[in-house]
Structure 1
Amino acid sequence: MNRFHVHLNVTDLDASLRFYTALFAAPPSVLKPDYAKWLLDDPRVNFAISHTGQAAGREPGIAHLGIQAGDADALADLGRRLDAAGGSVLPEQAATCCYARSDKFWTEDPQGTRWETFHTFGDATTYHAGGDASCATGGTDCAPQAPVAGHAVAAPAKAAGCCTPASGCC
């Protein structure tokens, strides 16, 4: 089953942790010094916050929205749906982001809101690929700056590495 995803940039991680822990009546499923994630069943949402956006001058608020796919087949279906919606789609495979390993498709809606569809298949020890410090200053929530126009959607492409347009990290 798929799960709605929301990722917020926050200015005060500790205050936000207290607020969302009380709101959701549950501690985060993942807690790191710069990141927290709740995998909730009621409502069914993957809700994440991070403090990494301020290093790159990102404003607090919505970093991106998305849908977490339950499996690889569901992700492929979401990729086809994104392609049918007419937007540019950026696929990536085995991306390391937000302390997880995932295959992804990124796009933007007509208003420019970034959307991530992804299937997570493992944990990672760093927020970004390789833990490269330049990721924290070059980009902050693993979302690409712009999807690749006219990209055929079949399967996610191999991630090129940290902080390159093809990696989707920055």
Structure 2
Amino acid sequence: MKEIKILKPHVAINVRDVQRSVDFYRRMFGVEPVRVRADYAKFDLDDPPLNFALNRRANVGDGALSHLGIQVASTEDVLKMRARWEAAGLLTRDEMQTVCCYALQDKVWVTDPDGNEWEVFVVLEGDLPERGGTVGCCA
């Protein structure tokens, strides 16, 4: 199987107050977020390489993790990872041409035994005016 070009890991956490968290992570990472909305913010870091998102949720307890992901370079890479996961016997869920986190994306999801969701995704178009509303998207 051809190599998949992975761009960077993706971590999304739930927060009570997006602006308060943006202020904290701006200082922690030493960079400005690339996108900020009332209910969402994204840091696209080079050092360390990380796509880090904040999602506003009213009821954030100890488990602030939203989901985990791997950003890849193309839809072809998304499909290669799906094939790899399916060959390993994992149940996958596709979301192609979906608007999620203010970006048009192609993605595939798997869920671990404890319910932690992982996505592999490519951003086809960024900074759209709407957040999107799919089940796994930014949630």
* Alignment TM-score, normalising by the size of structure 1: 0.70
Structure 2 Cα separation of the partners of residues 58 and 101 of structure 1: 27
1:26 and 2:21 matched: no
Structure 1 Cα separation of the partners of residues 46 and 52 of structure 2: 11
Structure 2 Cα separation of the partners of residues 20 and 14 of structure 1: 10
RMSD: 2.0
Structure 2's unaligned 5+ residue stretches are 1-5
Encode CA deviations 1:49-69: one digit per residue, 9 max, x unaligned. Answer: 011x32xx5646110001011
* Alignment TM-score, normalising by the size of structure 2: 0.85
Partner amino acid for 1:3?
K
Partner amino acid for 1:28?
P
Q: Which has the higher strand share?
A: 2
1:17 and 2:12 matched: no
Q: How many residues align?
A: 132
- Share of identical aligned residues, percent? 34
Q: Name the structure 2 match of 1:165.
A: none
Q: Which has the higher helix share?
A: 1
After the TM superposition, which parts of structure 1 deviate over 6 Å for at least 4 consecutive aligned residues? none
Structure 2 Cα separation of the partners of residues 41 and 72 of structure 1: 22
Correspondent of 1:75 among 59, 78, 85: 78
